[in-house]
Structure 1
Amino acid sequence: MATLQASELVAVQVADNPRILCAAPAYLATHRCPERLADLDDHACLTLHAMDAWTFRQAGHPVAKRIKGRLAASSVDTVHAACVAGAGLAMLTYWDVAQDLANGTLRALALSDAEPEQLAIWAVLPTRQHMPARVRRFIDGLKSALMASIPPQTR
């Protein structure tokens, strides 16, 4: 689940991995919703230790936005829980927040001048040749299951 680097391996995209900027209604009740990328500077952002920047697409180009967070955690689960508790904004994948978006525990936020750079879920193989049928069936089944569970507006 990342941007792939050049290598000799063969990568097959299994599914999109939409990233979503989100916040709890409790946080948004006391803080103005960010409208532009620069507005993130005025918000409590919840980050992972390894990610001091969030990547966005702005005018078709990738932009890394350095984030000064209220909380930097080593686990996605901690960032997710803090976001649900109303501690600030988080950039999480759809898979982490799907249930929260559906039940209203979290709200997806849209910026007018940028959107989160999207990642994908990849199956990385040593070669396309001699791929066992069971591996191909597994990848195809995983692809179908994951794509069926992502709403079209987040793809």
Structure 2
Amino acid sequence: MDKLTSMAVFAKSAELGSFAAAAQALEMSSQMVAKHVAALETSLGITLLNRTTRRQSLTDIGRAYYDRCKMVLAEVDAADSLAQEMHSQPKGLLRVSAPMTFGSFSLAPFVTRYLARYPEVKIDLSLSDRYVDPLEDGYEILIRIGELEDSSLIARPLAPYRLIACAAPSYLARHGAPEIPADLSLHDCLAYTYGASTIRCRWIFTQNDMTHEIEVNGRLRSDNWKALLHAATEGFGIILGPEDVMEPEIKAGRLVRILPDYVGPSRPMHVLYPSQRKPTAKIRSFIEALIDEFGTKCLARET
């Protein structure tokens, strides 16, 4: 028999004074109550209750054991309540992994707003473009850009990760604006590099189902978008960057969109989390807020 259940049955018997009363309260037979108490006594090798045909009473050891049982059962109830509360109310540490650029420019402001909304949640945010295994690295939520590989993770779509081409007004004043993608080969382009700097950088645009792929060059290449964005706003070249990052710069007048009639590269973006019977409140609330922030934009831009 389950010892914790037997302890609960024994405690109820001690409180109510008889097996019959305990059986009625616990909705089980008197014989089953007796079996639970007997199982406890056998495992302990002691007598907990003195029993006659008319009454029962705690032995000295039984009284001490009853006091301890009450403490143990109270702790179990407290643990269950805590688990239920954490499951229903966002609370605790949430470990999130996201790509570097999206995470630092777009996700970070969202995270601070989420934390303000849920003061009992803490977030450990890791930004990296390397592959992350959620089970090995302990992440509960991942954001990935690009095609997904088969996995046991549950994936929810977000708005596509779109890139647009921009340049500072000062750069365009000196060099003019390209009219077609092929003109980019005549301009200084600020290239984002994932690996070795010897890899050629190609930008892809589409218009009317026609693809234009151009090899671009420039005086500055970097694996950090913040460095490239700074160079672009300072007028050092044309940048192909995430639409979410470029939009505030365009509104502020620091950048101007070029080639507006052409569609830049676009990659799918998803939020992923490990498969669970029922995600905790902190995971559910974060994903729902994330989709509200970055999922509905997909529909807004396409309508």
The question of a shared fold, defined as TM-score above 0.5 by the shorter chain, is answered with yes
Distance 1:37 1:154, change over 3 A: farther
Query: C-alpha distance in 2, partners of 1:154/1:68?
Result: 32
Question: TM-score normalised to the size of structure 2?
Answer: 0.44
Match of residue 232 from structure 2: 83
Correspondence for 1:31 among 175, 182, 193: 175
Larger radius of gyration between Structure 1 and Structure 2: 2
Give aligned-pair identity as a percent: 24
1:38 is displaced (CA, Å) by 0.9
Report Cα offsets for 1:48-105 as digits up to 9, x if no partner.
Answer: 2227222333543666533222210121011000000001100111232222111111
Summarize the Cα distance change of 1:154–1:19 in structure 2 as closer, same or farther, 3 Å threshold.
farther
Which residue of 1 is the match for residue 289 of structure 2? 141
Q: Deviations over 1:100-150 (max 9, x none)?
A: 1111110111254x4202234321223375333432321121121235778
CA contact (8 A) 1:10 1:128 kept: no
Residue in structure 1 matched with residue 150 of structure 2 by the alignment: 7
Contact 1:37 / 1:111 at 8 angstroms: preserved in 2? no
Q: Which runs of no fewer than 5 residues in structure 1 stay unpaired?
A: none
176, 180, 194: which one aligns with 1:50: 194
SS in 1 for 2:220: strand
Measure, in 2, the Cα distance between the counterparts of 1:21 and 1:38.
13
Which consecutive residues of structure 2, in runs of 5 or more, have no partner in the other structure?
Answer: 1-143, 196-200
Name the CA distance, whole Å, in 1 between partners of 2:240 and 2:283: 32
The alpha-carbon distance between structure 1 residues 129 and 32, as it changes in their structure 2 partners (threshold 3 A), is farther
Higher strand content, 1 or 2: 1
Distance 1:80 1:4, change over 3 A: same
Mapped to 2, the partners of 1:62 and 1:91 lie a distance apart of 16
Contact 1:34 1:111 in 2 (8 A): no
Q: In the comparison of the two structures, how many residue pairs are matched?
A: 154
Q: 1:129 to 1:89 in 2, by over 3 A?
A: farther
Which secondary structure state, in structure 2, belongs to the residue aligned with residue 144 of structure 1? Answer: helix
Deviation at 1:24, TM superposition (A): 0.3
Q: Secondary structure at the match of 1:35?
A: coil
SS of aligned partner of 1:16: strand
The 10-residue stretch of structure 1 (121-130 or 136-145) with the greater mean CA deviation from structure 2: 121-130
Superposition RMSD in Å: 2.9
**How far is the alpha carbon of 1:47 from its aligned partner?**
0.8
Counterpart amino acid of residue 41 in structure 1:
S
Distance 1:135-1:62 versus aligned 2 partners, 3 A rule: farther
- Are the structure 2 counterparts of residues 64 and 10 from structure 1 closer, same or farther at C-alpha, using a change threshold of 3 Å? farther
